[in-house]
Amino acid sequence: MRPKKIILCVDDNEQELSVLKFMLSTNGYRVVSANNAHDAIAVFSEMPVDLVLTDFLMPQMNGDQLVKRLKHIASHIPMILLGDPAKMGDSLHGADLLLAKKNCTAHDLLDRIKVMSARKRGPRKGSTRIVHQQLAVAS
Protein backbone atom coordinates (compact mmCIF):
# COMPACT_ATOMS: atom_id res chain seq x y z
CA MET A 1 0.00 0.00 0.00
CA ARG A 2 1.31 3.45 -0.94
CA PRO A 3 1.79 5.95 1.87
CA LYS A 4 -0.75 8.75 1.87
CA LYS A 5 0.31 12.13 0.52
CA ILE A 6 0.35 14.79 3.22
CA ILE A 7 -1.39 18.06 2.37
CA LEU A 8 -1.08 21.17 4.51
CA CYS A 9 -4.34 23.17 4.29
CA VAL A 10 -4.31 26.76 5.51
CA ASP A 11 -7.44 28.87 5.92
CA ASP A 12 -8.66 31.24 8.62
CA ASN A 13 -12.29 30.25 7.89
CA GLU A 14 -13.03 27.17 10.04
CA GLN A 15 -15.98 26.07 7.89
CA GLU A 16 -14.04 26.17 4.62
CA LEU A 17 -11.09 24.45 6.28
CA SER A 18 -13.26 21.60 7.57
CA VAL A 19 -14.83 21.13 4.12
CA LEU A 20 -11.37 20.92 2.54
CA LYS A 21 -10.15 18.51 5.21
CA PHE A 22 -13.17 16.25 4.74
CA MET A 23 -12.94 16.28 0.94
CA LEU A 24 -9.22 15.51 0.91
CA SER A 25 -9.25 12.87 3.66
CA THR A 26 -12.14 10.98 2.02
CA ASN A 27 -10.09 10.94 -1.20
CA GLY A 28 -7.08 9.27 0.38
CA TYR A 29 -4.95 12.21 1.51
CA ARG A 30 -3.60 12.83 4.98
CA VAL A 31 -4.53 16.40 5.92
CA VAL A 32 -2.73 18.69 8.35
CA SER A 33 -4.43 22.02 8.92
CA ALA A 34 -3.52 25.46 10.15
CA ASN A 35 -5.80 28.43 10.91
CA ASN A 36 -3.21 31.09 10.10
CA ALA A 37 0.07 31.59 8.31
CA HIS A 38 2.24 31.53 11.44
CA ASP A 39 0.90 28.11 12.47
CA ALA A 40 1.37 26.88 8.90
CA ILE A 41 5.05 27.91 8.92
CA ALA A 42 5.55 26.05 12.22
CA VAL A 43 3.88 22.88 10.89
CA PHE A 44 5.76 23.10 7.58
CA SER A 45 9.09 23.40 9.40
CA GLU A 46 8.39 20.43 11.69
CA MET A 47 7.01 17.76 9.38
CA PRO A 48 7.31 16.59 5.79
CA VAL A 49 4.53 17.86 3.54
CA ASP A 50 3.80 16.83 -0.05
CA LEU A 51 1.65 19.83 -1.03
CA VAL A 52 0.39 23.12 0.43
CA LEU A 53 -3.13 24.39 -0.24
CA THR A 54 -3.76 27.88 1.11
CA ASP A 55 -6.40 30.57 1.01
CA PHE A 56 -5.33 34.00 -0.26
CA LEU A 57 -7.26 36.25 2.13
CA MET A 58 -6.05 35.78 5.69
CA PRO A 59 -5.30 38.27 8.46
CA GLN A 60 -1.73 39.33 9.31
CA MET A 61 -0.14 37.46 6.38
CA ASN A 62 -1.98 36.68 3.14
CA GLY A 63 -1.64 33.42 1.25
CA ASP A 64 0.85 34.80 -1.26
CA GLN A 65 3.18 36.01 1.50
CA LEU A 66 2.86 32.61 3.16
CA VAL A 67 3.72 30.78 -0.06
CA LYS A 68 6.80 32.94 -0.59
CA ARG A 69 8.00 32.16 2.95
CA LEU A 70 7.39 28.44 2.54
CA LYS A 71 9.12 28.41 -0.86
CA HIS A 72 12.15 29.92 0.84
CA ILE A 73 12.17 26.96 3.24
CA ALA A 74 11.52 24.26 0.61
CA SER A 75 11.12 25.44 -2.97
CA HIS A 76 10.39 21.96 -4.35
CA ILE A 77 7.06 21.55 -2.53
CA PRO A 78 4.09 22.31 -4.82
CA MET A 79 1.78 25.07 -3.54
CA ILE A 80 -1.73 26.01 -4.60
CA LEU A 81 -3.25 29.40 -3.82
CA LEU A 82 -7.07 29.65 -3.65
CA GLY A 83 -8.89 32.96 -3.84
CA ASP A 84 -10.79 35.59 -5.74
CA PRO A 85 -8.70 36.73 -8.75
CA ALA A 86 -10.10 40.27 -8.43
CA LYS A 87 -8.71 40.54 -4.89
CA MET A 88 -5.39 38.85 -5.74
CA GLY A 89 -4.40 41.57 -8.17
CA ASP A 90 -2.18 41.33 -11.20
CA SER A 91 1.10 40.94 -9.35
CA LEU A 92 3.20 37.82 -9.71
CA HIS A 93 2.49 35.18 -7.10
CA GLY A 94 4.89 32.63 -5.65
CA ALA A 95 2.44 29.72 -5.87
CA ASP A 96 2.76 26.99 -8.47
CA LEU A 97 -0.95 27.26 -9.24
CA LEU A 98 -3.64 29.92 -8.69
CA LEU A 99 -7.25 28.75 -8.52
CA ALA A 100 -10.39 30.87 -8.30
CA LYS A 101 -12.55 29.57 -5.46
CA LYS A 102 -15.83 30.41 -7.17
CA ASN A 103 -14.99 28.75 -10.48
CA CYS A 104 -13.25 25.67 -9.11
CA THR A 105 -15.33 22.56 -8.40
CA ALA A 106 -14.29 19.91 -5.89
CA HIS A 107 -13.53 17.56 -8.79
CA ASP A 108 -11.31 20.17 -10.48
CA LEU A 109 -9.45 20.82 -7.24
CA LEU A 110 -8.87 17.10 -6.62
CA ASP A 111 -7.58 16.65 -10.19
CA ARG A 112 -5.14 19.55 -9.79
CA ILE A 113 -3.95 18.25 -6.40
CA LYS A 114 -3.41 14.79 -7.87
CA VAL A 115 -1.27 16.20 -10.69
CA MET A 116 0.64 18.62 -8.44
CA SER A 117 1.39 16.06 -5.71
CA ALA A 118 2.53 13.47 -8.28
CA ARG A 119 4.99 16.04 -9.64
CA LYS A 120 6.89 16.26 -6.34
CA ARG A 121 9.92 14.03 -6.49
CA GLY A 122 11.97 15.34 -3.59
CA PRO A 123 14.39 18.25 -3.29
CA ARG A 124 15.91 19.60 -6.45
CA LYS A 125 19.60 19.07 -6.86
CA GLY A 126 21.48 21.65 -4.84
CA SER A 127 18.50 22.76 -2.74
CA THR A 128 18.43 22.42 1.02
CA ARG A 129 15.61 22.60 3.53
CA ILE A 130 16.08 25.49 5.95
CA VAL A 131 14.31 24.71 9.20
CA HIS A 132 14.94 27.93 11.10
CA GLN A 133 15.96 31.15 9.45
CA GLN A 134 17.98 33.54 11.57
CA LEU A 135 17.68 37.21 10.78
CA ALA A 136 20.66 39.47 11.24
CA VAL A 137 19.79 42.62 13.15
CA ALA A 138 21.85 45.71 12.41
CA SER A 139 23.11 47.45 15.53
What local confidence, expressed as pLDDT, does residue 103 receive? Answer: 82
Amino acid identity, residue 15?
Q
Sign of CA dihedral 19, 48, 51, 116: negative
Local confidence band at 66 (pLDDT 50, 70, 90 cut-offs)? very high
Integer Cα distance of 107 and 103 in angstroms: 11
What pLDDT, in 10s, does the model give residues 3-25?
689 999 999 999 999 999 999 99
Domain ranges (residues) in the chain: 6-119
What local confidence, expressed as pLDDT, does residue 119 receive? Answer: 61
What's the mean per-residue pLDDT of the chain? Answer: 82
pLDDT at residue 134 greater than cutoff 70: no
What local confidence, expressed as pLDDT, does residue 43 receive? Answer: 95
Sign of CA dihedral 46, 112, 4, 2: negative
Lowest mean pLDDT among 5-9, 28-32, 110-114, 131-135: 131-135
Lowest mean pLDDT among 33-42, 83-92, 98-107: 83-92
How many CB atoms lie under 10 A from the CB of residue 94?
Answer: 17
Q: Which of 126, 82, 85, 88 is nearest to 105 (CA)?
A: 82
Helix-helix angle 14-25:106-119, to 10 degrees: 70
Share above pLDDT 70 across residues of the chain, in percent, rounded to a whole number: 80
Q: What homologous superfamily is domain 6-119 in, according to CATH? A: Response regulator (3.40.50.2300)
Amino acid identity, residue 26?
T
